[in-house]
Amino acid sequence: MDANDAMKRSRREFLKMAGAAAAGVVLARRPFAAHAAVSGSGMKIGIIGSGRIGGTLGGLWVKAGHEVLLSARNLDPVKKLAADLGPRARAGTPREAAVFGEVVLISVPYSALPQVGRDLAGELRGKVILDTCNPIPGRDGDMAVAARAKGTGVASPEFLPGVRLVRAFNSVSFRALRSEAHRAGEKVGIPLAGDDEAALKVATRLVEDAGFEPVVVGGLARAIEFDTGAPVYGKALTARELRRGLKIGS
């Protein structure tokens, strides 16, 4: 083998190794969701909007062994909440929450959702996003009217392009989330809607870890069935009652 042949062979071997490494990077960057949901390992969860819903769920997930980064416009109460929750919780900006989270919960007024999508498009792209936001015309204006007409499962992806969206935790009050988590007997059902099967698996696990029973309704288009104003909305129903109300199999 002459020097030229050796150089060509070395280059081929290098490219082969580089290709394998690149494939490894791609695999590492692929959504972790299915593995995490099956393995039972703790997740890193970013929470954008750590008020009544986001703060309550953050506390429940910390107790379940997950790491949580809580964020809000006013960081002072969030810092206090994080300190109260212990070493698995920390406080930061919405951008820091978006970067930190393998899964990101967004719980903000619906009118803020477009801005979140614009500001954090790069950080959120490709991630599992749990969307709890409800359009309320009296608070959010005309955009809420349009969102309610088409359904949040259709409207929210328009504001959050490129994410793996699951509608979750929007139909039960924060009071019920606080008082009914991990209760004995039949658990309160949390309806879920999403088009990404692996993302739904992650959402299912996080519902269970929070102390509730997940009820997968179907694709995002069916989220309208538990949107604001729907018959099951705002009621802490058991999973069995929820399935009956949504007319889906038990």
Helix (H) or strand (E) holding 16: helix 3-29
**CA-closest candidate to residue 225, choices 247, 207, 204:** 247
- d(CA 176, CA 234) in angstroms, rounded, equals 9
Write down the pLDDT at residue 17: 36
- d(CA 123, CA 42) in angstroms, rounded, equals 21
Tokens of 66: 């997950």
Print pLDDT tens along the chain (250 aa).
Answer: 444 444 344 444 433 433 333 333 332 333 444 445 545 689 999 999 999 999 999 999 999 999 999 999 889 999 999 999 999 999 999 999 999 999 999 999 999 999 999 999 999 999 999 999 999 999 999 999 999 999 999 999 999 999 999 999 999 999 999 999 999 999 999 999 999 999 999 999 999 999 999 999 999 999 999 999 999 999 999 999 999 999 997 5
Q: Tell me how far the alpha carbon of residue 209 is from its chain's centroid.
A: 13
Residue partners of 154: CB distance under 8 A and separation at least 6: 220, 221, 224
- Taking the alpha carbons at both ends of the chain, their separation in whole angstroms is 70
Q: Are 236 and 176 in contact (CB under 8 A)?
A: yes
- CB burial of 152-169 (b: ≥16 within 10 Å; e: otherwise) equals bbebbbebbeebbbbbbb
**CA-closest candidate to residue 109, choices 139, 130, 73:** 139
Number of other residues whose CB lies within 10 A of the CB of residue 198:
18
Write down the pLDDT at residue 117: 98
3-state DSSP assignment of residue 23: helix
The pTM of this model reads: 0.85
- d(CA 221, CA 202) in angstroms, rounded, equals 19
Q: Are 28 and 126 in contact (CB under 8 A)?
A: no
